[in-house]
Structure 1
Amino acid sequence: MRHLLLTTMIAALPITATAQELSDERVKELALEAIMENPQIIMEAVALLDAQREAAQAAQAEQILSQQRDFLENDPNAPSVGPADASAVVVEFFDYNCPYCKRTAVDIKALMAADDDVRVVYREWPILGEGSVAAARAALAAREQGKYEEMHNALMELRGRAEEASIMAAARNIGLDIDKLTADMESEAVTAHIVTSRQIADGLGITGTPAFIVGNVVAPGAVPLDELQRLVGQVREDG
């Protein structure tokens, strides 16, 4: 990283000698001289490196998304709500202990209430501690009792953090068999879902929750309802 920064700064300097003619020590000397004469140059070099890195990440995300979009929208190990043949699909990465995810859950419900031709795919991505992992496992395990959506909503509506006691209380409130739930929380399918979510998020450069994928767009953060609706509309326009 330091060598790349030096090279980037030197590339911007009015040097008559070629890069091959400069020793490493001379490169460092020139960089130091440039910084002393114009400290702003280091900020410009850092900005250039940041821009290059962001462009590379965006290109990588675009390639991965083009390759995995069908899987993301139709992964049989990812719970979803809405018609299977919906004209638009929203994929959400979330954590039950993320306050922004809880706020966004209200917008997701509003989106689906206003549009019966959209499907939401849930990607459990627990990144905020052991309570988050337990909550994700419990929600995914609730599929075996046909109550994923009920458990998902119950966990999103929890006051305070999702921890073992509050998770199990929520499970009892919606009528889940706790012994079965506890056993199913350790299933291979549950573990595979969480691992896959992490791998996809890493590949797409997603660094936090919530994050959405709508069509060919990766939208990080608490995307408001009107923007989600715009993205859904764009998917339909694009066919």
Structure 2
Amino acid sequence: MIFTRSVDRRLLLKGAAGLAALAPLPAWPRIVATVSEVAFDPAIPALGNPKGDVTIAEFVDYQCPVCKLVFVELKKLLAEDHGVRLVMKDWPIFGDVSRDAARMALSAGDHYPAAVDALMTNERGLSAHRTDDILGVAGVDVASARAALADRQPAIDALLSRNDAQATAFRLRGTPALVIGGRLFKRGMPVAELREAVARARAG
């Protein structure tokens, strides 16, 4: 499937307005620990500034077109705001191919940021072979990553299960969804709204 960026960008902006009633939700007073676990799971490498003062956690699937658009907006934000810490919460709701892509990205070691960027900017449908090609171009030693999955997969699958449990607890209906400074947004957001949410998190 070809990913049409210009059309889907309009869809993202329209959806952001149309779903405004869903977000932001207030912080959850009874599950503060869970909010902390969402933003600071030690098994997920942080993008942006790992020591940033505001964390954005995004529930994503590497085959979700709107997730890809949100990632473009997040990259704009990270380029201008060096105090933001970004955590990608892999929630592979589109099946085994998405789960494989998540496992491989999380097995990429030091190439994790490049792996995420490559998978998120991919404009074609995924397969295991296509995922390997994308990650190979991004600098990942695919053969070593595949071989290491025999040892890493239980821990990675435990992480994916945690993400799924959190998404279920938050009653998410799909990807993307963002947690910004302890507030939940059940939708994609253009960069202007991301800036506003980060500013509110800092002020709060």
Shorter-chain TM band: 0.7 to 0.9
Note the 1:189-208 alignment, pairs <5 A: 189-208=155-174
**Cross-structure match for 2:114:** 150
**How high is the TM-score relative to the length of structure 1?**
0.70
Q: Deviations over 1:54-94 (max 9, x none)?
A: 9xxx79x8246422222222211012112233111100110
**Cross-structure match for 2:128:** 164
Please tell me whether the aligned partners of residues 92 and 99 of structure 2 are also in contact (alpha carbons under 8 angstroms). yes
Q: Deviations over 1:102-159 (max 9, x none)?
A: 111100100100101111011111001221111111111112xx10110111111212
Aligned to 1:66, which of 17, 32, 47? 32
> Which structure: larger Rg?
1
Alignment length, in residue pairs? 179
**Cross-structure match for 1:87:** 53
RMSD: 1.9
Change (3 A) 1:84 1:198: same
Please tell me whether the aligned partners of residues 111 and 139 of structure 2 are also in contact (alpha carbons under 8 angstroms). no
Distance 2:93 2:185 in 1: 18
Note the 1:101-120 alignment, pairs <5 A: 101-120=67-86
2:184 matches 1:224:
no
Say which is worse superposed, 174-183 or 128-137, in terms of deviation.
Answer: 174-183
**Cross-structure match for 1:18:** none
Distance 2:175 2:81 in 1: 24
Distance 2:62 2:111 in 1: 16
Q: Give the superposition deviation at 1:205.
A: 1.0
Note the 1:7-156 alignment, pairs <5 A: 62-63=28-29, 65-143=31-109, 146-156=110-120
Please tell me whether the aligned partners of residues 91 and 164 of structure 2 are also in contact (alpha carbons under 8 angstroms). yes
Question: More helix by proportion, 1 or 2?
Answer: 1
**Cross-structure match for 1:36:** none
**Cross-structure match for 1:178:** 142
Q: Secondary structure at the match of 2:124?
A: coil
Q: Give the superposition deviation at 1:177.
A: 1.9
Show structure 2 runs of 5+ residues with no match: 1-21
User: Counterpart of 2:202 in structure 1: which amino acid?
Assistant: R
**How high is the TM-score relative to the length of structure 2?**
0.81
Please tell me whether the aligned partners of residues 49 and 86 of structure 2 are also in contact (alpha carbons under 8 angstroms). no
Q: Deviations over 1:152-192 (max 9, x none)?
A: 11111212212111101012212322222112334222112
Distance 2:58 2:71 in 1: 10
Sequence identity (%): 29
Q: Secondary structure at the match of 1:227?
A: helix
Say which is worse superposed, 170-179 or 208-217, in terms of deviation.
Answer: 170-179
Q: Which runs of 4+ in 1 moved over 4 A?
A: none
Please tell me whether the aligned partners of residues 88 and 119 of structure 1 are also in contact (alpha carbons under 8 angstroms). yes
Show structure 1 runs of 5+ residues with no match: 1-53
